[in-house]
Structure 1
Amino acid sequence: MSAPETRQGKPKAPSSGIMYLGVAGATVLVLVAGAAFYVATKQTRHDNVAAVSVAVTSKACEPNSLSVPAGERTFEISNKSERPVEWEVLDGVMVLAERENIAPGFKQTLKVRLAPGTYEVTCGLLSNPRGTLHVTPSQEANAEPPKATMRALLGPMGEYKFYLGRQSSAALRDAQELADAIKTGDLAKAQSLYIIARQPYKRIEPVVHRFADLQNTIDPVADYFEKRENDPAFVGYHRIERGLFVTKSLDGLSPIADRLVADLTTLNERLKAMKMTPGILIDSAGNFTTQLSRDRLPAKNDSIAETDMTDLEANLDGIDKIVGLLRPVVKPVNPDLAHKIDATLTATKDEVAKQKSDAATASSTSASPGQRKELTAAFTNLADALNELPSAIGMNSNGT
């Protein structure tokens, strides 16, 4: 179609208004495209942040000193020793994040949100020297403001601290009864009390396993000691378990039981003095459930007294307590996540109940490899949901 003509027959020039709109439209498109490219680039850069590699040998970590910017970071831990190892990030005696039971020759990843500061890392055997993790300030760490207010978390934090105190007191009481049975020489009573005595501790394990020093004396795994079961530093529940259910002898268990009572007394006092922070409440359930699904369930740590199902039930009781306290906080800011957590928690409880029933039919309280696979899948789904809590609520793992 030809351009419109004037009375003299010459083409009429486009109006300045039309030209302005055309230029403006083109400019907007360029700006939108540029913004989209910028966002995509930023997102790609964030998503493609390389994992920090660290190797655990029989003697130390390589490298033994790491430096990363603050924010959410991923570590790839490879086991170059000849036995299962764990790798922990410690803030004083508190465990911020960890991976357990990394098999020889295998790798595992660990994702953790870190605030600026200097931390220690464990490197395999508990007798090995610790490494150092330097976390430097970054814009990413403070980029997103909290979605939930501190006021909304004050009630749940106070109630959870009360719950921790009540359960730790119960653990101390039950451990004392166990110690008394051992001292009186009643093996059968001590065996029955052992399973009962672990339950309160298991309910608060999502938090108390953060105390690295006490965890290594209250509930350590023999594989993390140089001489395993024969190592003099191997004490706590599992050392007592070995005497009660393997050698079926109370010889030498009395001082071990007294040590357990003393350590649980220290734990009780430490929990009373502990400052409850949003991060402790928000992160604990997800971190611990991840540890269960990735490290403990496949490894079958509780293999002697066959306390698998009762321990898992107690763990779920503790996780359920945290979920219940956070539900009123999460639902207003992310109702879909609140529903997802409730659904996966219910499914996990149902799976544990089913496996416990099947195990009882087979006259065993221990899970078979097939059952462990199904339990691992259920706990993995639950962990995935719980690990969305920090970003949904907007608080980081260091409690701010």
Structure 2
Amino acid sequence: MIRLPAPRSRTGPLVAGGIVAAGGAVLIVCATAGHAPVPARTTTAAPAADGLPHTAIRVTAGSCGTGWSRPHPGQQVFDVRNDSAGPAEVDLYDPATGAVLGEVEGLAPGTTRPLQVTLGSGAFAFKCLPDDGDAVIGPTVRVPGHAVSGPAAVPVTQHDLIPPAIAYQKWIGARLGDLADAVATLRSDVDRGDLDAARTAWLPAHLVYERLGAAYGTFGDADKAINGTTAGLPKGADDPGFTGFHRLEQGLWHGESADRLRPVADRLATDVDTLRDGWSQARLDPAQLGLRAHEILENTERFEITGRTDYGSGSNLATARANLDGTRTVLGYLRPLLTTRYPALPRLDALLDRLQHTLDSHLTGGRPTPVDDLTTAQRERLHADLGQAVERLADIAALFDVRRTS
């Protein structure tokens, strides 16, 4: 799998209930750093140009959420102004459950930003998290009636993610042993000069690696050495920096001799053995698991089903299927946290099942259909199924973005 750049910092909404900003009914939080300031209002629940009632909320050094004096249910906007001396994150949450309905991140001093939410009946409060201080919780406000609130979720903490991260890291360690064995077989075939056998052994070995998708951030430079491509290399396929599985693929499917490929196979085996032997000392970042669950198939969409990483084997769809396995593995370790926070989990499972069925239809007889051989209808179906899964997995990335709670 081609790897995306380092993860981006959070600027979007806390997603819950399977709803994201592109999907219709949403929890919308305008919290980007470049948002133009909105003048603070002195009245509460006043209709604005957007047709929604607005309430001016103040944040100061010692108080949070003052100004909310006319609580009412329904869709509305809180214009949150920071009158303190430093930046802060501001959350609207349910004190009884800890579930967050909306957030404004990085609210600079003297700045006002809109926080749009749908409030139901119940008790709510604002929580302010200044960058250089402890949380300040505002007064609890009771909203009358019998309405139902919009999306909300209990924030995930670093502590929550440590057990699944440890379990996942142990799983990776076992798979690295399988990878080393598969690469040893591949290396032996090349060393004997049996390139037909090497072509047969290449794909199973590569797929073992592709199923390890959520660990690549921990692999560091080893990932590029083992699974890098020609992207950015001045000499392309002839560049000395082109190593690993795809360099071997290039040679095996483009008529290179065993003599030329032996050093490539040796280097691959050495790099894999080094990664396996050092894995017990690696430290997988628990906070990255949710993001990686999304990025695995995001990368698949960008690089595999477009054929951009095909160096002759025509195996991109088999790689995509392995990436799906990797995604399901990560979600499996996160599932105990998801079941209590993400009501749309059955919908996500159904989308992944449909994507699996589509990919499997192109892997008949153990030989994947090359991407270029797909019909237009097949290509459109694959892009649609994968795109919907990637969109839904963005919810997971947002939900597992670790947030301060105190």
Same fold (TM > 0.5): yes
Pick from 51, 54, 68 the counterpart of residue 36 of structure 1. Answer: 54
Superposed CA offset, 1:286-305 (max 9, x none): 02211221344224312511
Q: Please report how far the alpha carbon of residue 260 of structure 1 lies from its aligned counterpart in structure 2 after TM superposition.
A: 0.6
Q: Please report how far the alpha carbon of residue 245 of structure 1 lies from its aligned counterpart in structure 2 after TM superposition.
A: 1.3
Q: Please report how far the alpha carbon of residue 377 of structure 1 lies from its aligned counterpart in structure 2 after TM superposition.
A: 2.4
Pick from 336, 346, 355 the counterpart of residue 339 of structure 1. Answer: 346
- Aligned-partner residue type, residue 173 of structure 2: G
Bigger drift between 164-173 and 210-219 goes to 210-219
Partner residue in 1 for 2:357: 350
Q: Secondary structure at the match of 2:306?
A: helix
Q: Please report how far the alpha carbon of residue 145 of structure 1 lies from its aligned counterpart in structure 2 after TM superposition.
A: 9.9
Q: Please report how far the alpha carbon of residue 330 of structure 1 lies from its aligned counterpart in structure 2 after TM superposition.
A: 0.8
Q: Please report how far the alpha carbon of residue 165 of structure 1 lies from its aligned counterpart in structure 2 after TM superposition.
A: 0.7
Q: Please report how far the alpha carbon of residue 150 of structure 1 lies from its aligned counterpart in structure 2 after TM superposition.
A: 5.1
Q: Please report how far the alpha carbon of residue 376 of structure 1 lies from its aligned counterpart in structure 2 after TM superposition.
A: 2.7
Pick from 316, 324, 328 the counterpart of residue 320 of structure 1. Answer: 328
- Aligned-partner residue type, residue 384 of structure 2: A
* Counterpart contact for 2:190–2:258, Cα < 8 Å: yes
Identity %: 24
Q: Secondary structure at the match of 1:251?
A: helix
Pick from 227, 237, 249 the counterpart of residue 241 of structure 1. Answer: 249
Superposed CA offset, 1:242-263 (max 9, x none): 2211115212111111111111
- Map residues 30-179 of structure 1 onto 2, 5 A cutoff: 30-33=43-46, 36=54, 38=56, 40=77, 147-148=155-156, 152-179=160-187
d(CA) in 2 for partners of 1:194, 1:377:
29
Partner residue in 2 for 1:74: none
Q: Indicate yes or no: 2:191 matched with 1:183.
A: yes
Q: Secondary structure at the match of 1:225?
A: coil
d(CA) in 1 for partners of 2:295, 2:223:
16
* Counterpart contact for 1:182–1:250, Cα < 8 Å: yes
Q: Indicate yes or no: 2:370 matched with 1:366.
A: yes
d(CA) in 2 for partners of 1:212, 1:189:
31
Q: Please report how far the alpha carbon of residue 33 of structure 1 lies from its aligned counterpart in structure 2 after TM superposition.
A: 2.2
Q: Secondary structure at the match of 1:31?
A: coil
d(CA) in 2 for partners of 1:312, 1:156:
24
Q: Indicate yes or no: 2:394 matched with 1:376.
A: no
Partner residue in 1 for 2:235: 227
d(CA) in 2 for partners of 1:41, 1:194:
57
Superposed CA offset, 1:83-119 (max 9, x none): xxxxxxxxxxxxxxxxxxxxxxxxxxxxxx99xxxxx
* Counterpart contact for 1:294–1:376, Cα < 8 Å: no
Q: Please report how far the alpha carbon of residue 329 of structure 1 lies from its aligned counterpart in structure 2 after TM superposition.
A: 0.7
TM-score by length of 1: 0.61
Q: Please report how far the alpha carbon of residue 343 of structure 1 lies from its aligned counterpart in structure 2 after TM superposition.
A: 1.9
Question: Which structure has the highest helix share of the two?
Answer: 1
Structure 1 residues 70, 377: CA separation in 2 closer, same or farther (over 3 Å shift)? farther
Structure 1 residues 152, 279: CA separation in 2 closer, same or farther (over 3 Å shift)? closer
Q: Please report how far the alpha carbon of residue 223 of structure 1 lies from its aligned counterpart in structure 2 after TM superposition.
A: 3.5
- Aligned-partner residue type, residue 384 of structure 1: E
d(CA) in 2 for partners of 1:138, 1:257:
53
Q: Please report how far the alpha carbon of residue 151 of structure 1 lies from its aligned counterpart in structure 2 after TM superposition.
A: 5.4
* Counterpart contact for 1:225–1:231, Cα < 8 Å: yes
Superposed CA offset, 1:289-332 (max 9, x none): 11221344224312511112221221111111111121221111
d(CA) in 2 for partners of 1:149, 1:384:
23
* Counterpart contact for 1:330–1:393, Cα < 8 Å: no
Partner residue in 2 for 1:291: 299
Report the count of equivalent residues: 279
Partner residue in 2 for 1:385: 392
Q: Please report how far the alpha carbon of residue 187 of structure 1 lies from its aligned counterpart in structure 2 after TM superposition.
A: 1.3
Q: Please report how far the alpha carbon of residue 210 of structure 1 lies from its aligned counterpart in structure 2 after TM superposition.
A: 5.8
Q: Secondary structure at the match of 2:193?
A: coil
- Aligned-partner residue type, residue 263 of structure 1: D
* Counterpart contact for 1:208–1:215, Cα < 8 Å: yes
Structure 1 residues 296, 30: CA separation in 2 closer, same or farther (over 3 Å shift)? same
* Counterpart contact for 2:287–2:401, Cα < 8 Å: no
Structure 1 residues 376, 273: CA separation in 2 closer, same or farther (over 3 Å shift)? farther
Superposed CA offset, 1:147-202 (max 9, x none): 23555434322221111111111111111111111111111111111111112101
- Aligned-partner residue type, residue 177 of structure 1: T
* Counterpart contact for 1:146–1:395, Cα < 8 Å: no
d(CA) in 1 for partners of 2:238, 2:356:
36
Partner residue in 2 for 1:25: none
Q: Please report how far the alpha carbon of residue 341 of structure 1 lies from its aligned counterpart in structure 2 after TM superposition.
A: 2.0
Partner residue in 1 for 2:66: none
d(CA) in 1 for partners of 2:384, 2:396:
20
Partner residue in 2 for 1:309: 317
Structure 2 gaps of 5+ residues are 1-41, 48-52, 57-75, 81-86, 90-104, 107-128, 136-151
- Aligned-partner residue type, residue 347 of structure 2: K
* Counterpart contact for 1:290–1:383, Cα < 8 Å: yes
Q: Secondary structure at the match of 1:182?
A: helix
Q: Secondary structure at the match of 1:36?
A: strand
